[in-house]
Amino acid sequence: MANVSVVRMFLLSGLNETMNYRIAIFSLTLLYYCMILVFNISIIMIIILDQNLHEPMYILLCSFCMNGLYGTTGFYPKFLLDLFSSSHQTSYECCLLQAFVMNSFACCELSILAVMAYDRYLAICRPLHYQSVMTKQKVSQLICFSWFTPFCILSINILLTSRLKLCGVKIDRLYCVNWVIVKLACYVSDTFLINVTVHFTMTIYISHGLFIFWTYMHLIRTCVKSKDDRVKFMQTCVPHLVSLVTFIVAVLFDFMYMRFGSKDLPQSHHNFIAIEFVLIPPVMNPLVYGFKLTKIRNRISRSYIFFK
C-alpha cells in the first residue's frame, strides 16, 4: 500500500480530454483569464482611486473582486501550464496548495456575499442606524471575518488531509480539491476527523446562506412599502442577487456531482461542471456591478471619455 510518504505526485486525468484541442483551449483560456484580470482590477482600482467610492458597499465590492482574482489565480495559471504538459502530473504539495486556494475561495465568496447582504439590509431596512453601525472599523472587522474564518477552517482541513495515508494518485478533475484527495485515503476510519470538520464547515456556510435569505425577506418586505426603497433595491441589491444565485448554482452543481454524480457522464461535461464557479462569476460579477451601480458606471464613463 502507498502512504503519504510515498505518494508524491497526483495524476489529473481530467486533462486527457484537452489533448486534441490544447492550442485552441490555451488561447481561449488565456484570453478569458486576461478578461478576468482586466475587469476585476479595473473595479478595484476605480474604488481605490476615487474618494467618493470609499463607502462600505464599494469597499466590500473591492474585497469581492479581490477574492475573484485570488480564486482564479489558483486555477488558470496552473491549468495553462498543464495544457502543454505531457504527463499531467502535479506534485503532492502543489495539489494540497491548490485544494486550499480553491476551497477557501469558494468559502470566502459566500462569506463576502453574506456581509454584503448585511450591508444592504442596514442601508435599506435600518437607514438611521447605517452610519453609526457601518463604521470604517466595523467594515474592516467584517472583511477580516470573511477572509480569516475560511482560511482558518480550510487550513485545518488541509492539515488533516496531509496526514492521511493514500492508496491512489488519480484525480478525475482539472484541478485539486480537498474532498477528492480525501477519497483516495486507504482507510475510511482515518477520515473521521475530516468528515467532522467538513460537516462543521458546511453548517457554518449553510448558516451564511440562511442569513442571506433572512436579510432578503426583510429587504423585500421593506421595499414593497416604499418607492424610494424599491429604486435603491433595484440599483444595489439586484447585482448582489445575481452574483449570489450564479455562485450558489455553480457550487451546488459541482458539489452534488462530486458527491453523487454518475461516472457515465462524459469527461468534457464533468470538466465544465467542475470549473463553472471559476468560469462565470469572476467575469460576470465586475460586469454586473460596473453596469448597475451608478457611481461606478459614471466613473467608468468619465475614464473612457478622458482616454478617448
Distance CA 21, CA 137 (A): 50
- Residue position matching grid coordinates 465544465: 272
Q: Grid coordinates representing 57?
A: 458597499
Q: Do the bridges between strand 170-171 and strand 89-91 make them parallel or antiparallel, or are there none, so unpaired?
A: unpaired
Comparing C-alpha atoms, which of 182, 194, 102, 187 is closest to residue 157?
Answer: 194
- Give the lowest-confidence range in 25-29, 84-88, 122-126: 84-88
The structure's pTM equals 0.88
For residue 3, the model assigns a pLDDT of 43
CA angle 243, 247, 15 (to 5 degrees): 135
The tens digit of pLDDT for each residue in 22-73 reads: 888 899 999 999 999 999 999 999 999 888 888 898 999 999 999 999 999 9
- Residue position matching grid coordinates 426583510: 218
Beta partners for residue 202, in sequence order: none
Q: How many CA atoms lie within 13 A of 189 on its CB side?
A: 0
Residues found in the chain: 308
- Residue position matching grid coordinates 451601480: 293
The tens digit of pLDDT for each residue in 144-202 reads: 999 999 999 999 999 998 888 888 888 888 888 888 888 888 877 778 888 898 889 88
Q: Is the pLDDT of residue 4 over 60?
A: no
Give the dihedral sign, CA 84/85/91/95: positive
Q: How many CA atoms lie within 13 A of 275 on its CB side?
A: 21
Query: In which band, very low, low, confident or very high, does the pLDDT at 5 lie, cut at 50, 70 and 90?
Result: very low
Residue 10 and residue 90 in contact, taking contact as beta carbons nearer than 8 Å = yes
Q: Grid coordinates representing 262?
A: 454518475
Distance CA 232, CA 209 (A): 22
Scored b (16 or more CB within 10 A) or e, 222-256 reads bbeeeeebbebbeebbebbbbbbebbbebbebbbe
Comparing C-alpha atoms, which of 278, 259, 269, 285 is closest to residue 29?
Answer: 278
The tens digit of pLDDT for each residue in 232-265 reads: 788 778 888 888 888 888 888 777 776 666 566 6
Comparing C-alpha atoms, which of 29, 42, 11, 6 is closest to residue 286?
Answer: 42
Contacts of 246 (CB under 8 A, 6+ apart): 280, 281, 284
The tens digit of pLDDT for each residue in 191-231 reads: 888 889 888 988 998 899 899 999 988 888 888 777 777 78
Torsion, Cα 212 51 284 122, to 10 degrees, reads: 10
